[in-house]
Structure 1
Amino acid sequence: MKNFLLVAAIFIFAFAVLFISIFDSSAINYPVSQSPYQPLVGSKAPEINYHLPYSGNVLPDSPLWPLKALRDKVWIGVTTSHLRRAELALLFSDKRLVMTQKLFEKGEPDIAISTFTKGEMYFPIAVEEEKIARSQGVDTSIFLNKLALSALKHREVAEDLIQLAPEDIRPLIIKTEDYAKDTYELAKDLLNSKGLPVPKDPFIRD
């Protein structure tokens, strides 16, 4: 009986994850975007040549969100390649950035800022996984370039979010930008150490 219940629980979980994946239409063809992010009209932030991925249909304000968030954690957890784990962390960060803008546009600033903060916290995970992969002799040069561009893109979008968000939330957005700033600097230093081109940082406000 216990074995039957265990198998049934696993089956239900697997079915639920499959349902979320199909419903959400979240492809891992990274970083190609099914629906490129469009900067807000009137934004003065420099536009970074980096396409953000499609966010999916399930946003953090959906009752299905906890299952999707769990799926993401399981996805990283079962991935054995550290470089692939770094790529997934970056993908999840990028997706949550797009979700953040959608939530602000829907008039849900509290959920939006929470999503933004949690999404930016994937940057340190990506950095750590890249470090492990590099220590194992894996060439991470292409990923480092992506990481630097993503960090700059996050700063671009954050500038738009500052204009979109309620005044009391703007300081939180500015503070959370530090994740992207620190990530860019780290990627820049590593690319420089390899003698590779570094995406230019057009932001001067610090």
Structure 2
Amino acid sequence: MPIHKMKKFLFAFVIFAIAFVILLVSIFDSSAITYTFTNTPPQPFGETKDSKVDYVLPYAGRVLPDSPFWGLKALRDKIWFGVTTSPLRRAQIALLFADKRLVMVEELFRKGKPDYAMATLLKGERYLPIAMEEEKIARGRGIDTDEFLVTLATAALKHKEISGYLVELAPENVKPLIISNETYADKAYEDAKNALNSRGLTAPKNPFDGD
């Protein structure tokens, strides 16, 4: 076999192998029992607390950032986002990544792994401004993003709320960092609210105004 054909074959084989492994991770990830945050914050806490934001976070999967398979899952996410061409769909995917990572953060704190939890929180919340930027691109192309803006605004409020619960789970030395990281959720809410208001639409009410 000529060398150039062999190189093409090897390249195709490597791509196939990577895709196959990513598929296995995806199947493993999606085969777990689904659970979500409902309107009750993460436990354990001393008492049950009523949620102020009606938004259910998605199931994050079994593969968390402390897993040896996390690199493959993160690669899968990057490929998924990268091959998506619709800006509205990219915005939805970015929000999904932010939501899932927030659920992972809570689980990692429960497992006593604050380093993994904080790294995941800091990276995960950065998907909120990405979602907003992609929404702006979609809006600029004349795509109707009203429904997504409402979803994003509500999700941002949920992130703000869960952040408050995470402070109670976290070690003392990382609590200030969690609080300062709320700026991503705050800005995402304000940007989504302003975009809705500019269209004559009402944004979800912020229950944390004045906190």
**Is this a same-fold pair by TM over 0.5?**
yes
Seen in structure 2, the aligned counterparts of structure 1 residues 205 and 173 have a Cα distance that, compared at 3 Å, is farther
- Alpha-carbon separation, structure 2, partners of 1:45 and 1:108: 26
Aligned-residue offset at 1:46: 4.3
Q: CA RMSD in A?
A: 1.6
Of 75, 80, 84, 2:85 maps to 80
For structure 2, the 5+ residue unaligned runs are 1-5
Partner of 1:16: 21
One-letter code aligned to 1:86:
A
**How far did residue 204 of structure 1 move?**
3.3
The structure having more radius of gyration, on CA atoms, is 2
Q: Does the aligned pair in 2 maintain the 1:45–1:160 contact within 8 Å?
A: no
2:119 to 114, 121, 124: 114
Shift of 1:195: 1.4
- Matched residues in 2 for 1:166 and 1:155: separation? 19
Residue type of the partner of 2:181?
T
Aligned residues: 200
Matched, 1:197 2:199: no
1:144 aligns with 2:123: no
Query: What is the Cα deviation at residue 138 of structure 1?
Result: 0.3
Give the distance between the partners of 1:7 and 1:26, measured in 2 at CA. Answer: 28
State the partner residue of 1:174: 179
Distance in 1 (alpha carbons) for counterparts of 2:199 and 2:174 = 39
- In 2, Cα distance between the equivalents of 1:76 and 1:67? 14
Q: TM-score, normalised by structure 1?
A: 0.93
Shift of 1:104: 0.2
What TM-score results when the alignment is normalised by the length of structure 2?
Answer: 0.91
SS of equivalent to 1:71: helix
Alignment of 1:15-34 (within 5 A): 15-25=20-30, 34=34
Aligned with residue 129 of structure 1, among 130, 134, 141? 134
Q: Is the 8 A contact 2:92 2:148 kept in 1?
A: yes
Deviations 1:80-108, CA, capped at 9 Å, x for gaps: 10000000000000000000000000000
1:186–1:26: structure 2 CA closer, same or farther, 3 Å change rule?
A: farther
How far apart are the structure 2 equivalents of 1:26 and 1:118?
25
* Distance of aligned partners of 1:16 and 1:169 in 2 relative to their CA distance in 1, 3 Å threshold: same
For 1:106, give the aligned amino acid: K
Structure 1 gap ranges (5+): 28-33
* Alignment map for 1:84-103 (pairs within 5 Å): 84-103=89-108
Equivalent-residue separation in structure 1 for 2:25 and 2:197 (angstroms): 41
Query: 1:43, CA displacement in angstroms?
Result: 6.3
